[in-house]
A = this chain, B = another copy of it.
Amino acid sequence: MGDTGVNLAISTVIFALRPAPDGGAPTLWIPLVRRIRDPHLGLWALPGGPLLPEESLAEAAAHNLKSTTDVEPRYLEQLYAFGEPDRSPGDRVVSIVYWALVHSGEAEQLAEGENVRWFVADEVPRLAFDHNTIIEYALWRLRNKMEYSRIAHALLGETFTLTQLREVHEAVLGRPLDPANFRRQIESSGDVVATDQVVTGGRHRPPRLFRYIGSVDLGDTGPLSG
């Protein structure tokens, strides 16, 4: 606000699944942008920018996301507003932060540039401002949400094998899950159902494809989601 010297910014934590750095299992990654001016010139930071007059907050976050990664979010939710007086040197900046999930298929074609790079979410370097804290909180929110909602859906295609579904859970939670236990838990939840399709490719016992039942709101913003 001009008269009290408070600036408002919108930033976005973008999660996507991509193979681990060693080419292994799907892993949670986030794109960061390099600061090209002070404060914190040269450090990596969350993508963000000012709020344009005609944009809603979510539109500004989607706009961030599109200009950083060139993909549309599968899921976008407001995370939190960060406004400690000392979080930006020399300036008072309040950041309203969103978090987004990008579909893994789309994320594999993402370009990196000199000033945009993808990092394994649990292994980011020291970032500008309080952005390490923000990512830690976004990871906590995502992991919590994985336990009680269908948020994994946003990281999968319309159909998926139970192995793919488990790999999404493992990537987000950052730990391996027992395949037989996971299968039992998913089957008893009643959330997914087998389709009459299998994975093509000539294997002797091709794995079956599943889909989520019905269309359920992925978020939990209740009256705001209508």
Contact A4/B78 with A140-B223, A222-B137 known, Cβ cut-off 8 Å: no
> Which of A15-23, A49-57, A153-161 has 4 or more CB atoms under 8 Å from chain B?
A49-57
Pair A51/B222 contact, Cβ less than 8 Å: no
Pair A1/B4 contact, Cβ less than 8 Å: no
Contact A94/B133 with A1-B1, A78-B81 known, Cβ cut-off 8 Å: no
Pair A3/B1 contact, Cβ less than 8 Å: no
Interface residues, chain A, with chain B CB atoms under 8 Å away: 1-8, 50-57, 78, 80-81, 83-85, 92, 94, 96, 133, 136-137, 140-141, 144, 220-224
**Which secondary structure dominates chain A's binding surface?**
mixed
**Interchain CA distance A8-B137 in the complex, whole Å:** 23
Pair B78/A57 contact, Cβ less than 8 Å: no
Pair B222/A140 contact, Cβ less than 8 Å: yes
Pair A51/B224 contact, Cβ less than 8 Å: no
Pair B80/A224 contact, Cβ less than 8 Å: yes
Pair A96/B83 contact, Cβ less than 8 Å: yes
Pair B53/A4 contact, Cβ less than 8 Å: yes
